[in-house]
Amino acid sequence: MEECLNEGQVSGDAEIGTAMTHFLKVCDYNVPHGKKNRGVSVVTSYKYLIVNPSDNELFKARVLGWCVEWLQAYFLVADDIMDHSVTRRGRPCWYKQDNIGMIAINDAFYLEAAIYKVLKKYFRQEKYYVDIMELFHETTLQTVIGQGLDLLTAEEEVVDFSKFSMSRYDAIVKWKTAFYSFYLPVALAMHMAGVQDDASFDKAKEILLEMGHFFQVQDDYLDCFGDPAVTGKIGTDIEDNKCGWLINQALILCSSTQRELLETHYACKDPASVKIVKELFVELDLKKRYRDYEEESYQKLMAKISSLSSPDLPKEMFISFAEKIFKRNK
C-alpha cells in the first residue's frame, strides 16, 4: 500500500513526504483492526462464484476486499466525529488521538481517495474496472444519503419523537448500512466473476438488503446492551438521540407515563438519564422482543435465500454471510 500511495507524490516536492507519513499512520490506525467481515466476504463470495480461481484472481479479490475496508474506515472516522463517539474497536476514536482533532475530517477524505488509487493500480486493465468504480461511487452516495437522514432525524439534544417511526428507521438502515456492508462486497465479487445480467444483481440486492436490516437491528441492540469489552465500542445511541430500533419499539409499547420519561431523558448526556432509559427498555421487555425478532428475521432471511438463489447465485454464498452475523455479540 505504501508503494501505491507514494506514486501520488508530486515529483520534487520533498514536503509531500510529511503528509504521506501522516496518511500511512491514518491507514494503519483505522483500516486493519476491525472484524473485516466485509472485506473477507468479497473473497468468500468470489470463491462460491468461480470454481478453482487462480492465485492472481484471489489476489485481486483480496485487494477489492481491502478497498471495502478502506471505505468502512472512511465512514467510521467521519461517523465517530459526527456522533461524538469515544471509542472504536477497543481504542480511542481517531479524532480523539493527541494532535488529531478535526484533522480527522481531512483524514477521512484521504481514506476515501485511497480506494480509487488502489483500484487504478490493480484494475485499470480489467473489463469490469468501470463497473466497480461506479459501484464504489454509487455505494458511497447511498451511505451518505443514509447518514444524512440519520443526522436530520436525530437533532442534537432536541427530542422530537414525531420524527421517529419504523418506516424512517427502515430507510436509514437501508441507505446508511445495508448497501455498503452487505450488497457491495457480493456485487464486487459478481462483477469480478463476469456476472452481467441485471436480474441476478437485483436478486442479490433483495437478499442482502434484508440481511443488512437484520445486522443493523443487532447493532442497535448491542449499542445499548452489549459489553464494551467485547464490542470494542461504548454505545452512544441514547445520548445521540438516534432513531434506533430499541427506541422505536419502546414508543410502540410504552404507556403515556413511560413516554414522558423517554421525552425527558432520551438524548441527554447525563449518565443518570441514560440509565433511566435503559431501565425502561428492560421494563418493556425489549431484550425478549429483540430475541424474538432475531429468530424470526433469521428464518425469514433463510426462506428468501432459498427462493431467490440459483446456480449463478449459490445459496451457500449468502448463508455463509448470514452465519457470520447471526447471534453475534460484537
pLDDT of residue 85: 86
pLDDT of residue 118: 96
- As a whole number, the mean pLDDT across the chain is 91
By the 8 A CB rule, do 312 and 200 touch? yes
Q: Is the pLDDT of residue 12 over 60?
A: no
Residue 181 lies in a domain: yes
Which position has the higher pLDDT, 295 or 5? Answer: 295
By the 8 A CB rule, do 182 and 321 touch? yes
Residues paired with 87 in a beta bridge:
92
Residue 14 lies in a domain: no
By the 8 A CB rule, do 140 and 111 touch? no
C-alpha cell at 74: 472512511
By the 8 A CB rule, do 223 and 79 touch? no
From the list 259, 253, 257, 166, the residue with the least C-alpha distance to 216 is 166
| Number of separate domains in the chain | 1
Residue 1 lies in a domain: no
CA distance 85 to 79: 8
Q: Is the pLDDT of residue 312 over 90?
A: no
* pLDDT tens for each residue of 149-182: 998 898 766 788 999 999 999 999 999 999 999 9
pLDDT of residue 1: 53
Which position has the higher pLDDT, 13 or 39? Answer: 39
How far is Cα of residue 141 from the mean position of the Cα atoms in its chain? 14
Residue 10 lies in a domain: no
* pLDDT tens for each residue of 250-264: 999 999 999 999 999
From the list 216, 195, 178, 170, the residue with the least C-alpha distance to 313 is 195
Q: 34 pLDDT band (50/70/90 cuts)?
A: confident
CA distance 274 to 224: 10
By the 8 A CB rule, do 102 and 84 touch? no
pLDDT of residue 8: 47
Range of the domain at 172: 19-325
pLDDT of residue 14: 67
pLDDT of residue 3: 55
pLDDT of residue 279: 97
Share of the chain above pLDDT 70, in %: 95
For the chain, strand residue ranges (E) read: 87-88, 91-92
pLDDT of residue 11: 46
Q: Is the pLDDT of residue 10 over 50?
A: no
* pLDDT tens for each residue of 207-235: 999 999 999 999 999 999 998 888 887 88
Residue 120 lies in a domain: yes
DSSP 53-67: --HHHHHHHHHHHHH
* pLDDT tens for each residue of 38-88: 999 999 999 999 989 999 999 999 999 999 999 999 999 999 999 888 889
CATH of the domain at 207: 1.10.600.10
Residue 6 lies in a domain: no
